[in-house]
Amino acid sequence: MPVRSTLLVLAALAAVAACALWQLTEPRAAFSRDQWQSYEQGGDAARGRIVFEAGGCASCHATPGQPDRLKLGGGLQLKSPFGSFTVPNISPHPDDGIGAWKVVDLANAMLTGVSPSRTHYYPAFPYTSFQRVKIEDVRDLMTFLRTLAPVSGKAGDHDLSFPFNIRRGLGLWKLLFLDGKPLKADPAKTLQWNRGRYLVEGLGHCAECHSPRNILGAVVADRRFAGGPNLEGKGRVPNITPDASGLGPWSQKDIAELLTSGLTPDGDSVGGAMAEVIRNTAELPPSDREAIAEYLKSLPPRQTSPPEKKGSGG
196 and 167 part of one domain? no
What pLDDT does 18 receive? 57
275 and 198 part of one domain? yes
Predicted confidence pLDDT, tens digits, the chain (314 residues): 576 666 555 566 566 655 665 566 788 888 988 888 889 989 999 999 999 999 999 999 999 988 899 999 999 999 888 889 999 999 999 999 999 999 999 999 999 999 999 999 999 999 999 999 999 999 999 999 999 999 999 988 898 888 888 888 899 999 999 999 999 999 999 999 999 999 999 999 999 999 999 998 899 999 999 998 877 667 789 999 999 999 999 999 999 999 999 999 988 888 888 888 999 999 999 999 999 999 999 999 999 866 554 433 33
C-beta separation of 170 from 120 below 8 A: yes
216/226 Cα distance (integer angstroms): 18
Number of domains in the chain: 2
171 and 198 part of one domain? no
Beta sheet of 83-86, edge-to-edge order: 77-80, 83-86, 159-160
Closest by CA to 129, choosing from 191, 180, 193, is 180
What pLDDT does 15 receive? 61
Identify whether 101 is part of a domain: yes
Identify whether 309 is part of a domain: no
Identify whether 286 is part of a domain: yes
139 and 231 part of one domain? no
148 and 197 part of one domain? no
173 and 239 part of one domain? no
259 and 165 part of one domain? no
What pLDDT does 310 receive? 42
153/205 Cα distance (integer angstroms): 28
288 and 233 part of one domain? yes
Query: Within 13 A of 144's CA, how many CA atoms are on the CB side?
Result: 22
DSSP 8-state secondary structure symbol assigned to residue 201: I
Identify whether 15 is part of a domain: no
167 and 239 part of one domain? no
107 and 72 part of one domain? yes
What pLDDT does 163 receive? 80
Indicate the burial class of 306 (C-beta count within 10 angstroms; 0-12, 13-18, 19 or more).
exposed
Identify whether 235 is part of a domain: yes
303/305 Cα distance (integer angstroms): 6
What pLDDT does 125 receive? 95
Specify the CATH number for the domain of residue 246: 1.10.760
What pLDDT does 306 receive? 65
What pLDDT does 313 receive? 34
37/102 Cα distance (integer angstroms): 8
For residue 258, give its domain range: 191-298
Residue 288: count other Cβ atoms within 10 Å of its Cβ.
23
Q: Which of 177, 199, 218 is the last residue of a domain?
A: 177
109/118 Cα distance (integer angstroms): 10
Identify whether 28 is part of a domain: no
149 and 108 part of one domain? yes
164 and 195 part of one domain? no
Indicate the burial class of 136 (C-beta count within 10 angstroms; 0-12, 13-18, 19 or more).
middle
Identify whether 253 is part of a domain: yes
Identify whether 27 is part of a domain: no
- Is pTM beyond 0.85 here? yes
